[in-house]
Structure 1
């Protein structure tokens, strides 16, 4: 009775409505299965990236096309799988171009986190029954206009500090490209680089291409590939930039191998100050991906007690793990 009262606006349509209603609710679950487009599941996409970045449908098409071409002596894995696990420092220019495509997918997942809250959307995948009711309450008997909604996209504050000293040079140029991609997708991201001093480069990552951005960063950062004084650089950040750039829900990410020539006492003091200002403090170390690595250098040992997450950042696989971790942190 409630459905007839709310969904049917003309008396002449009641008989038709009753027939459709009874027919629909009399179906079995198997009969109700329909081919409805589904949103891409981010977890499935992450798994696919880890397995080599291939779309199952496209992979099947390639298999079908290759059928009948004879046996191959090639290994039983795809180049994409090798790319995912390859050390960033060992990638060729061609592999870096391929890696950028994987990074784009990773960053898209980081940037487009769906919250439980819904917002109005004309072409959204869900019917907003409350808005539909209100919208049609004043419309007359000529029809029902459905209001739609979708899950709101969360945008969380992220602060990234990347070590560009000499010991990090083979990784920092690629990781800056990763950070550039994040900055392009998430406006509320601040980025700094450091070696012997701190330089905020957020505005330089707003240019049209990654090549232009890297060129401008290289011109701006005069101590690129120099020595390392982490404690002094973090002090500069705390004193000059932190008040304007950090919030209670900010996730701070430091990218560094931890090699440091500065004062460990100063570094300890500034790491403690920094930890109090942020929601979570993450440290990405490319060396952590090396077999048998132990954080024995003074800078890394000094930082460890203040970290919520200590993660590798030496290949695409480690960046996929970072994306998963960020999603859990922001949940």
Structure 2
């Protein structure tokens, strides 16, 4: 690899695709078409220069103003600039590159075969490759510097529940005829015929409820999972609880914009750090106090736990089945699932798994990105960690065993 461009082969593509995945996890609507345009733009510009990669991604991957702030944070965290802003001043930043002119210049250089006289700077791939490797490493194995890098990437996360159609309607070009607006338009014209006005259902994200295990067995993962919950709590329809020997609602504590202040507030509010685990009793308490009254009804509920249970596993099975009937979807993220030879043999995990819609990993940054995609409604396969892949009852069968059909 030299300073004249990105390395050839799948390694360079993996770096750029990993950056696109990080943007998607941060809530940027990065579609396959945008990723393809990003790769073409980087290839047409100077792939080894941070400034060109920055502008190529900003012009192709961002769809609206809300995406710009997320893009700045993810670019800074992914490519090593702690400030989260544009590339440093050591690399000359020209105005926004004109892609058509850049394509013509690139074609002319390829015909003449002359080298580029402008300084290329450090290749972006060499800066991002460690981050791409870091995404797949278990957070327990990280050193302090790598933990700080993961924390910066987690701060750029965004968690949005699966969309649902609400009862409200909005004006639209297609859809059923809106009789009230159509009649008002005709009256405004003095009774003359007018164009038919139409409306469509408004789509809103479902509520997301996170239950984070902070018991002793989950202590190595508690910080990363709570920082993931802090990024998720920026959404208005997200609730966060900690579970161990007690159930503690920490949504207000996680409302601080600064992650470190939020973690300090959670540390003061949670009285049962590194204690035991009473999943069945605490899940029953959650359903009695909040879930049954509406917090879990039609929501996406995520349990982040290793499944170790000190109480009766039959109680956990009954309460998980009860939650499955109330919620739209129940997702269980287990950091131990990624270990070689893992099987859900713990009594609590084995009891709850038949009533879980998706069983995924939660040990690394890439696993949490996948978890965010599952919460948004992405389909999972056997390698992605569905409940059926681990021998659990499929959702339809679990519903038949657990009781009546859940609300939409």
Greater helix share, 1 or 2? 1
SS of alignment partner, residue 340 of structure 2: coil
* Deviation readout 1:25-64 (Å, 9 max, x if unpaired): xxxxxxxxxxxxxxx743449x97xxxxxx7489656744
Aligned match of 1:147:
none
Distance 1:214 1:103, change over 3 A: closer
Shift of 1:310: 0.6
Aligned match of 2:289:
240
TM-score by length of 2: 0.55
Separation in structure 1 between the aligned mates of residue 231 and residue 128 of structure 2, nearest angstrom: 28
Separation in structure 1 between the aligned mates of residue 157 and residue 141 of structure 2, nearest angstrom: 21
Aligned match of 2:220:
170
Does the 8 A contact of 1:246 with 1:277 survive in 2?
A: no
Counterparts of 1:263-274 in structure 2 under 5 Å? 263-274=312-323
Aligned match of 1:228:
277
Shift of 1:248: 3.1
Aligned match of 2:19:
none
Picking from 72, 87, 93, the partner of 2:138 is: 87
Aligned match of 2:339:
290
SS of alignment partner, residue 262 of structure 1: coil
Gaps of 5+ in 1: 1-39, 49-54, 121-125, 139-150
Aligned match of 1:42:
30
Does the 8 A contact of 1:111 with 1:182 survive in 2?
A: no
TM-score by length of 1: 0.66
Counterparts of 1:287-326 in structure 2 under 5 Å? 287-326=336-375
Aligned match of 1:30:
none
Picking from 197, 209, 216, the partner of 2:246 is: 197
SS of alignment partner, residue 233 of structure 1: helix
Separation in structure 1 between the aligned mates of residue 240 and residue 164 of structure 2, nearest angstrom: 24
Does the 8 A contact of 1:184 with 1:206 survive in 2?
A: yes
SS of alignment partner, residue 333 of structure 2: strand
Picking from 233, 245, 258, the partner of 1:183 is: 233
| Larger RCO of the pair (alpha carbons < 8 Å, separation 6+) | 1
Shift of 1:83: 1.5
Separation in structure 1 between the aligned mates of residue 162 and residue 299 of structure 2, nearest angstrom: 17
Gaps of 5+ in 2: 1-27, 51-115, 189-200, 380-407
Distance 1:75 1:211, change over 3 A: closer
Aligned match of 1:103:
154
Does the 8 A contact of 1:112 with 1:153 survive in 2?
A: no
Does the 8 A contact of 1:163 with 1:193 survive in 2?
A: yes
Aligned match of 1:212:
261
Distance 1:118 1:56, change over 3 A: farther
Distance 1:278 1:56, change over 3 A: same
SS of alignment partner, residue 78 of structure 1: helix
Compare CA radii of gyration and give the structure with the larger one. Answer: 1
